Structure 1
Amino acid sequence: MEPVVVTEGITKDYGSVLALDALSVRVDPGVTGLVGANGAGKSTLIKILLGLIPPTGGGAQVLGRDIATDGAAIRAAVGYLPEHDCLPPDVSASDFAVHMAMMSGLPRLAARERAADVLRHVGLAEERYRPMGGYSTGMKQKAKLAQALVHDPKLVFLDEPTNGLDPAARDEMLGLIQRIGHEFGISIIVTSHLLGELERVSDQVVVLDGGRLLRASRTDEFLDATGALLIEVLGENAQTRMIAALTDAGLPASARGTMLTVEAAATGEREVHDLIRDTAAGLGLGLVRLQADHRRIEDVFDDAQGPR
């Protein structure tokens, strides 16, 4: 499988800020989450890969093309959804998408057909003739997504596409990203500082912190089971009573939010399950949930504190 992006020691030094620090990473086809706090270097990396700003050091290839010499060809083959609002307020989404398609080389008729298709796919079919200045934030993000897709790119960069969206619009955008990547077969690199949402849609994750690579791997490798169990019980003082009873039974438990966790690795899993079930029943508590605990992407930041 040929990678869609390869970086080799990419550095970007603004003098007062080292935005990227010798970043080497390979991104395979599919949906890739590029995660990190604000200022981690995500937007800078995308702009370098698009050939919009030069790196201070290192190099990269996008779809097999060198960013130093093939910037125009890269931009013709990829789509880009910028983080900040960039839509002309007095232009309709239809006219804007048609214009962007023609800018990418499509003839007018093909551009109109393609624009109608992508606006329908992103959910703007009924609103496509309205001026975009009257759009909600969610509609503006959909219009930006449509223009990124209108020329049928092989790869799209989505920079914080859920930024400023309410929960319903955020879920809709994440659903669109998953559909584009998995049903349309377009590779996606999507950035976010909200780690949990990228766990839901990404095939692989690249984690940046302060311009450095913390980890890059498949999402399911991030979310491997930890050997612990998550338990949720209902009843009067349920959590406190359950923790005390399990600890007395030789299975130390601790609180995590409204649930509790126990280590299952030390003894057989079936014996632990039976003990938890019997303990809850003996206390007259409702056992609502008993499942394997999984790592979260944010655990990578905790793991990295020592080496840094």
Structure 2
Amino acid sequence: MIETAGLTKEYPGVTALDRLDVTVGEGVTGLVGANGAGKSTLIKILLGLVPATGGTARVLGHDVATDGGRIRSLVGYMPEHDCLPADVSASDLVVHLGQMSGLPYAAARERASDVLRHVGLAEERYRPIGGYSTGMKQRAKLAQALVHDPRLVLLDEPTNGLDPSSRDDMLSLVRRIGTEFGIAVLVTSHLLGELERISDHVVVLDGGRLLQSSATTDFLHATGSLLVEVQGRHDADQVLGQALVDAGLAARPAGDALIEVDIRDERTADVVRDLAVDLGLGLVRLQERHHRIEDVFREGGAGSVQPT
């Protein structure tokens, strides 16, 4: 779907993308990075809206440097920022943009009705967008990205400004696009947990550089340790941690009153449980620890990216 080789974008005094080599295939691909990591710049280059300084990029087999118009006719794009006309209904907007993408009027109206229903705006589609909530505006932006039945959609921070409930709904929609609709998705976010939940593949950027690109499951593999949380006294984690060390287990603080314990054998969890009981502590959590996307940023020294 997307392939870049040595892609570079430089502004005066700033390198937005630094020799980026990325391949994006079918399914849902998450593009994660702190604000300023180069996510939006990459999307604009892929759409042929901004020229690269160096390197190459192809979208659906088309060169972004020469075939921008063709790419934009095949790709759906949901911008990050609020850009919707306040005095136009979602129905009229989506129909209009469907026509701009090459659909005849009748087909554009039919497609607009379908996609607005899919994104949950069937009842509100004739209201002026200016009266919409933030969540409804994000759904309208998603609808216009889908109206022309694209092979690929680029979604730039689709959960931006949403409350937790609306964020969950939007993430479910994004996942459905990549699974039920069969449309490839490239979705950006600075919230790590979002991409772990919905992506088949994750691309991690930091300062315009590629930190890692791999299947989501590769980020979430087991670490060979347990995460333990106990309560019952103010220093419960310290008391249990010392008891675990005295019992011959490797244990260390893991932040937020958590203890990380290396798994020695199949009885390690039983030892943790029994020691907590002997000490009169309540065992709140005992689970196998997995790597997360945030570990890539921590190990790579990346900028501030929120885990949830």
TM range (shorter): over 0.9
Q: 1:285 aligns with which of 257, 281, 292?
A: 281
Could you tell me which residue of structure 2 aligns to residue 245 of structure 1? 243
Q: Secondary structure at the match of 2:293?
A: coil
Q: 2:95 aligns with which of 98, 101, 105?
A: 98
Give the root-mean-square deviation of aligned CA atoms. Answer: 1.4
Are 2:296 and 1:300 equivalent residues in the alignment?
Answer: yes
Q: Is the 8 A contact 1:246 1:253 kept in 2?
A: no
Could you tell me which residue of structure 2 aligns to residue 182 of structure 1? 179
Matches of 2:220 and 2:106 in 1, distance apart? Answer: 46
Could you tell me which residue of structure 2 aligns to residue 39 of structure 1? 36
Q: Map 1:162-241 onto structure 2 (within 5 A).
A: 162-237=159-234, 238-241=236-239
Matches of 2:229 and 2:107 in 1, distance apart? Answer: 55
Could you tell me which residue of structure 2 aligns to residue 83 of structure 1? 80
Matches of 1:278 and 1:207 in 2, distance apart? Answer: 41
How far the C-alpha of 1:243 sits from its partner, in A, is: 1.8
Matches of 1:254 and 1:214 in 2, distance apart? Answer: 27
Query: Cα gap change, 1:278/1:209 in structure 2, threshold over 3 Å: closer, same or farther?
Result: same
How far the C-alpha of 1:239 sits from its partner, in A, is: 2.5
Matches of 1:135 and 1:305 in 2, distance apart? Answer: 40
Percent of paired sites with the same residue: 67
Which amino acid is the alignment partner of residue 199 of structure 2?
S
Taking structure 1 as the reference length, what is the TM-score of the superposition?
0.94
Matches of 2:191 and 2:119 in 1, distance apart? Answer: 22
Q: Secondary structure at the match of 2:267?
A: helix
How far the C-alpha of 1:182 sits from its partner, in A, is: 1.3
Q: 1:113 aligns with which of 110, 117, 141?
A: 110
Q: Secondary structure at the match of 1:206?
A: strand
Matches of 1:59 and 1:255 in 2, distance apart? Answer: 43
Q: Map 1:20-35 onto structure 2 (within 5 A).
A: 20-35=17-32
Q: Which 4+ runs in 1 deviate beyond 4 A?
A: none
Query: Cα gap change, 1:300/1:255 in structure 2, threshold over 3 Å: closer, same or farther?
Result: closer
Which amino acid is the alignment partner of residue 256 of structure 1?
G
How far the C-alpha of 1:245 sits from its partner, in A, is: 1.8
Q: Is the 8 A contact 1:239 1:255 kept in 2?
A: no
Q: Secondary structure at the match of 1:169?
A: helix
Matches of 1:24 and 1:105 in 2, distance apart? Answer: 32
When the two structures are aligned, how many residues end up with a matched partner? Answer: 300
Matches of 1:32 and 1:158 in 2, distance apart? Answer: 10
Give 5+ residue unaligned stretches, structure 2.
Answer: 303-308
Q: Secondary structure at the match of 2:3?
A: strand
How far the C-alpha of 1:39 sits from its partner, in A, is: 0.7
Could you tell me which residue of structure 2 aligns to residue 256 of structure 1? 255
Taking structure 2 as the reference length, what is the TM-score of the superposition?
0.94
Q: Is the 8 A contact 1:214 1:300 kept in 2?
A: yes
Could you tell me which residue of structure 2 aligns to residue 155 of structure 1? 152
Listed one character per residue, the Cα deviations across residues 265-290 of structure 1 (whole Å, up to 9, x for unaligned) are xx21x121121121122123333332
Q: Secondary structure at the match of 1:68?
A: coil
Matches of 1:12 and 1:157 in 2, distance apart? Answer: 19
Q: Secondary structure at the match of 1:256?
A: coil
